[in-house]
């Protein structure tokens, strides 16, 4: 089983990103679950989602304490939450940032400027850049699921083609 | 077709298949998504129901009662405080022998405000005359909701059915869902005692003690008859859709020497614990109790029991453990765990089994 | 009575008190409504006077429901009849306690949702069924079993609360004026959407007057102006004849109060307060009817 913990802020689309990750894995023929952990449902608060991917049905509903992968949609959360807590020794990190933030330097970290991609494509809703579709492209590049399944998941969920464009851009730009 | 769905959306999808004439509901966290999705279906025309956006849960159940007595299919959904607020009408629905189906997204009761999973809400309604089933996956939420209509509307039953799913843990998780078309699995609803101006009758009038007593006994007789109806419905469902359900979901129970009994999603987590315990040489099995009303008579034999209660009856004990003790005379190790959404992992559950002290009660994480 | 059914929908075997005006009201309501009618009744005197199951003194279907639930049950029933393509009248028939107190939330919701039904509040100004406890509709100064020294609060202005829901039709009526009442019920039922009627129902044991006086007490309520009769269709208010007459030459309020034991020993100050309330209400209604407010 592969376990992912996703950190975001309320309103950034973290819950949808988690669902897209599960859906893309599901389209790869795997079993997958996406479980947002809700506190009060308000914008801006740090929230966390748990994604599990496996070859057999997943029976675990509890939180992920030792993730294989940590995804951070908002680097400012690094100052508030220890997003690396419990990360497996060989675990990976993906951060939405133009460079590697100092707190993440000692981990096996990759980064991509998802916010920049969203702004470039004017993929903005109610003033917030959309991060949940570009991050799927970056994760496909990391091998979490196939590029085709990532595209399928996005197209099943959104009709605006810029979402797929953003994902492909992130796929190319992942560092 | 296989899709990815939340538990809440699976319930709404099943309701769309069942196509009730009237849905009356009031939103409450974490049930809200069910109501929103049904409102979407009605707005986009994929569900032909009359959707009544009532001003309270009391009125939600009251409106379902008013609709149901005309002989049409009805549905509502609630959670926690909503269920308690409608409690008077919950009793009324069963007493009036109305086959209303309700999804209850199990959530803790205040104070303090807590929106996470706990079963005390629905278990407080266990003496109302409603049938109650507790599910553990998104697929089961869909399947149980479909079956609930057929069971409730069977004239041997004519009692309402409550489908319970754990708040957030199941209501908000995304899992795969096979959204099988229902076609003729649920026959058209026929209510023998439907209200009609062609045959005027008084309903719910003043009733003598002797008649009232007999009417109450009729409820219990139907509750007992529902055992057979549930069995038939679950068998018919299995032969049509290939997914088999029963009173309990048993995992590696055949040769087990110690059984973990639980309800809802904890029952799935317990299966993972069983595998861990087996690898350590402890012959464990998991028995997830699905139907709490009517209450099953589980095959417990001479095995040791570890009962996990995500609920509590103050001054008495865990409600599942107490029920098993009362029904079978068997003692158990009763662990109270997961109240208010307390995190309980498969490792924790394996720990309950290792530390079991039959005859005792333990509050997980509190009195260790 | 002209324009009503010759059939009787309430048989002579009800268990109502002698001189009960609420059963008289219901008799006229059902004659006006006809046989394709379902009655929804919350806990109130009407739940009792049907008799004991399996017998019933009514020959239209009656759905008895919990105290707070009448308007919501009627909502569900009206929606279901619509899906079945039936035009059956859904009439909720509730007392004042079930309307102004415990049932007001469900009533407000049903009206706001434009439920196609007629809600009738028959007002005997207390919880009569349980032996006359105070309700929000009990008038200032009236003795009840829970206001043994006379009520210290004024009667809740239910009609202006209902009017705020901006209904296609609402009306007030009184058991002592059956022709006016029947006309209003028929008009209400001819309109699709939410309709409301508030009907004064004098109660001999509760108000403490002789059962033979039940019509006289009702008439005096209207003549003194303490009970005003009118119709309101959205923003248009039309005063009913007897109330217009009362506005020109009202009978003395004391004559009404003196007829009833429940007002015995009422202080002059309270009488003056009630008089003030009556005058204020009539002034507002008159101004509204004349379009000058």
Q: What average pLDDT does the segment B111-140 reach?
A: 97
Predicted local distance difference test score (pLDDT) of residue B93: 98
- For CA atoms B348, B353, B355, B360, the dihedral sign is positive
Predicted local distance difference test score (pLDDT) of residue C2: 62
Strand C236-239, strand C230-233: pairing: antiparallel
Q: What average pLDDT does the segment B273-295 reach?
A: 98
Least confident of A27-41, A143-157, B28-42: A27-41
Least confident of A127-131, C87-91, C281-285: A127-131
Predicted local distance difference test score (pLDDT) of residue A12: 86
Predicted local distance difference test score (pLDDT) of residue B180: 82
Would you say residue C48 has pLDDT above 60? yes
- In chain C, which residues have their Cβ closer than 8 Å to the Cβ of B56? 105-106, 109
Predicted local distance difference test score (pLDDT) of residue B183: 78
- In chain C, which residues have their Cβ closer than 8 Å to the Cβ of B57? none
Q: For residues A40 and A38, which has the higher predicted lDDT (pLDDT)? A: A38
Which of B172, B176, B265 shows the shortest C-beta gap to A36? B172
Q: What average pLDDT does the segment B320-336 reach?
A: 96
Distance of CA B339 to the CA centre of its chain: 17
Q: What is the pLDDT of residues C199-210, one digit of tens each?
A: 999 999 999 999
Predicted local distance difference test score (pLDDT) of residue B268: 98
C8 in a domain, yes or no?
no
Q: What average pLDDT does the segment B340-361 reach?
A: 98
CA distance B271 to B345: 11
Task: Let me know if domain A2-173 sits in CATH 3.40.920.10.
Answer: yes
Binning pLDDT at 50, 70 and 90, where does residue C73 land?
very high
Predicted local distance difference test score (pLDDT) of residue A105: 94
Predicted local distance difference test score (pLDDT) of residue C4: 77
In order of A53, B280, B354, C251, the CA distances from B350 in angstroms are 23, 10, 6, 84
Interface probe, candidates A61, A65, A132, A156, chain B, greatest B C-beta count within 10 A:
A61
Chains A and B touch (3+ CB pairs under 8 A): yes
Enumerate domains of chain B plus CATH numbers.
2-241 (3.40.50.970), 248-363 (3.40.50.920)
Q: Which domain holds residue C200?
A: 21-289
Q: Which chains touch A (3 or more CB pairs under 8 A)?
A: B
In order of B284, C143, C159, C165, C173, the CA distances from C219 in angstroms are 81, 21, 20, 29, 11
Would you say residue A165 has pLDDT above 90? yes
- In chain B, which residues have their Cβ closer than 8 Å to the Cβ of A58? 175
Predicted local distance difference test score (pLDDT) of residue A40: 59
| Closest C-alpha among A10, A6, A47, A12 to residue A127 | A12
Q: What average pLDDT does the segment B308-315 reach?
A: 98
State the alpha helices, DSSP H only, in chain B: 7-18, 32-44, 57-68, 80-85, 87-95, 120-123, 138-153, 209-241, 266-279, 319-328, 346-354
Q: What is the pLDDT of residues A58-69, one digit of tens each?
A: 999 999 999 999
Q: Is B52 on the interface with C (CB under 8 A)?
A: yes
**Contact (CB, 8 A) for B230 and B151:** yes
Predicted local distance difference test score (pLDDT) of residue B169: 97
Would you say residue B31 has pLDDT above 70? yes
Which of C37, C40, C108 shows the shortest C-beta gap to B197? C37
83-102 in chain C: CB under 8 A from chain B: 83-84, 88
Q: Is B69 on the interface with C (CB under 8 A)?
A: yes
Binning pLDDT at 50, 70 and 90, where does residue B224 land?
very high
Q: What average pLDDT does the segment B178-196 reach?
A: 93
- For CA atoms C2, C4, C7, C11, the dihedral sign is negative
Predicted local distance difference test score (pLDDT) of residue B367: 64
Q: What is the pLDDT of residues B59-102, one digit of tens each?
A: 999 999 999 999 999 999 999 999 999 999 999 999 999 999 99
Chains B and C touch (3+ CB pairs under 8 A): yes
Q: What average pLDDT does the segment B214-224 reach?
A: 98
Predicted local distance difference test score (pLDDT) of residue B221: 98
**Contact (CB, 8 A) for A63 and A50:** yes
Predicted local distance difference test score (pLDDT) of residue B65: 98
Q: Is C234 left (phi over 0), alpha (psi -120 to 50) or beta?
A: left
Predicted local distance difference test score (pLDDT) of residue B257: 98
Q: What average pLDDT does the segment C216-226 reach?
A: 98
Q: What average pLDDT does the segment A9-24 reach?
A: 93
Query: Above pLDDT 70, what percent of chain A?
Result: 98
C15 in a domain, yes or no?
no
Would you say residue B294 has pLDDT above 80? yes
Residue C123: which CATH number? Answer: 3.40.50.970
Domain tally, chain C: 1
Would you say residue B341 has pLDDT above 80? yes
Predicted local distance difference test score (pLDDT) of residue B2: 83
ipTM of the complex: 0.96
Predicted local distance difference test score (pLDDT) of residue C98: 98
Binning pLDDT at 50, 70 and 90, where does residue C12 land?
confident
Binning pLDDT at 50, 70 and 90, where does residue A41 land?
low
Q: What is the pLDDT of residues C25-34, one digit of tens each?
A: 999 999 999 9
CA distance A36 to A31: 17
Chains C and A touch (3+ CB pairs under 8 A): no
With CB atoms and an 8 Å threshold, state whether C77 touches B202.
Answer: no
């Amino acid at each position: 089983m592969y376990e992912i913990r996703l950190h975001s802020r309320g309103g950034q689309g973290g819950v949808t990103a988690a669902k897209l990750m599960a859906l893309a894995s599901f389209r790869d023929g795997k079993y997958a679950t996406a479980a947002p952990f809700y506190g009060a449902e308000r914008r801006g608060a740090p929230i966390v989602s748990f994604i599990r991917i496996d070859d057999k049905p997943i029976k675990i509903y509890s939180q992920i304490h030792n993730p294989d992968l940590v995804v951070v949609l908002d680097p400012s959360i690094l100052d508030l939450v220890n997003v690396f807590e419990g990360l497996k020794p060989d675990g990976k990190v993906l951060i939405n940032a133009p460079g590697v933030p100092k707190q993440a330097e000692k981990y096996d970290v990759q980064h991509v400027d998802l916010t920049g991609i969203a702004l470039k494509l004017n993929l903005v809703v109610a003033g917030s850049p959309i991060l949940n579709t570009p991050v799927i492209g970056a994760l496909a590049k990391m091998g979490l699921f196939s590029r085709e399944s990532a595209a399928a998941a996005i197209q099943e969920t959104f009709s605006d083609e810029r979402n797929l464009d953003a994902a492909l851009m992130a796929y190319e730009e992942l560092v | 077709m296989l899709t990815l769905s939340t538990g809440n959306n699976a319930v709404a999808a099943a309701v769309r298949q069942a196509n009730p004439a009237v849905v009356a509901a009031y939103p409450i966290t974490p049930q809200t998504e069910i109501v929103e999705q049904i409102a979407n279906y009605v707005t986009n025309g994929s569900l032909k129901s009359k959707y009544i956006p009532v001003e309270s849960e009391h009125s939600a159940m009251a409106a379902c009662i008013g609709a149901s007595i005309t002989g049409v299919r009805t549905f509502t959904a609630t959670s926690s405080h909503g269920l308690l607020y409608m409690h008077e009408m919950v009793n009324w629905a069963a007493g009036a022998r109305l086959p209303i189906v309700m999804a209850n997204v199990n959530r803790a009761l205040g104070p303090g405000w807590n929106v996470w999973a706990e079963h005390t809400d629905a278990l407080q309604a266990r003496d109302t005359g409603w049938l109650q089933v507790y599910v553990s996956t998104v697929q089961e939420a869909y399947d149980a909701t479909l079956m609930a209509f057929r069971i409730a509307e069977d004239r041997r039953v004519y009692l309402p059915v409550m489908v319970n799913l754990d708040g957030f843990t199941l209501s908000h998780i995304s899992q795969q869902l096979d959204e099988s078309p229902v076609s003729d699995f649920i026959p058209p609803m026929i209510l023998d005692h439907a209200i009609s101006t062609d045959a005027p009758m008084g309903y719910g009038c003043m009733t003598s003690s002797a008649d009232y007593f007999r009417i109450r006994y009729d409820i219990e007789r139907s509750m007992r008859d529902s055992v057979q109806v549930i069995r038939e419905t679950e068998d018919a469902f299995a032969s049509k859709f290939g997914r088999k359900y029963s009173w309990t979901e048993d995992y590696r129970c055949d040769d087990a020497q110690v059984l973990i009994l639980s309800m809802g999603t904890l029952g799935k987590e317990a299966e993972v614990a069983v595998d861990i315990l087996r690898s350590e040489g402890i012959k464990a099995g998991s028995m997830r109790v699905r139907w709490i009303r009517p209450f099953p008579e589980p095959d417990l034999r001479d095995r040791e029991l570890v009962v996990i209660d995500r609920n509590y009856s103050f001054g008495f004990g865990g409600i599942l453990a107490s029920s098993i003790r009362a029904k079978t005379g068997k003692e158990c190790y009763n662990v109270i765990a997961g109240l208010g959404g307390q995190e309980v992992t498969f490792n924790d559950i394996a720990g309950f089994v290792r530390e079991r002290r039959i005859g005792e009660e333990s509050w997980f994480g509190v009195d260790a | 009575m002209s324009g009503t059914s010759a059939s009787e929908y309430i048989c002579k075997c009800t268990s109502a008190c002698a001189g009960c005006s609420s059963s008289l009201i219901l008799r006229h309501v059902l004659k006006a409504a006809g046989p394709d009618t379902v009655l929804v009744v919350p806990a109130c005197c009407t739940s009792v006077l049907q008799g004991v199951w399996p017998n019933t003194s009514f020959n239209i279907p009656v759905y008895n429901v919990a105290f707070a639930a009448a308007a919501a049950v009627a909502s569900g029933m009206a929606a279901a009849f619509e899906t079945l393509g039936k035009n059956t009248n859904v009439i909720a028939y509730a007392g004042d306690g079930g309307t102004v107190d415990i049932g007001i939330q469900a009533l407000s919701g049903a009206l706001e949702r434009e439920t196609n039904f007629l809600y009738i509040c028959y007002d005997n100004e207390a919880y009569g069924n349980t032996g006359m406890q105070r309700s929000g509709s009990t008038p200032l100064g009236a003795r009840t079993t829970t206001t043994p020294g006379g009520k210290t609060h004024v009667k809740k202005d239910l009609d202006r609360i209902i009017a705020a829901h901006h209904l296609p039709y609402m009306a007030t009526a009184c058991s002592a004026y059956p022709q006016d009442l029947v006309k209003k019920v028929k008009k209400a039922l001819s309109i699709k959407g939410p309709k409301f009627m508030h009907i004064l129902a004098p109660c001999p044991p509760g108000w403490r007057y002789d059962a033979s006086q039940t019509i006289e007490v009702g008439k005096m309520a209207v003549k003194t102006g303490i009970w005003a009769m009118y119709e309101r269709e959205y923003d248009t208010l039309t005063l009913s004849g007897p109330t217009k007459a009362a506005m020109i030459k009202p009978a003395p309020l004391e004559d009404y109060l003196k007829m009833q034991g429940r007002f015995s020993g009422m202080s002059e100050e309270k009488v003056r307060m009630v008089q003030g309330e009556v005058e204020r209400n009539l002034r507002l209604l008159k101004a509204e009817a004349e379009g000058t407010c």
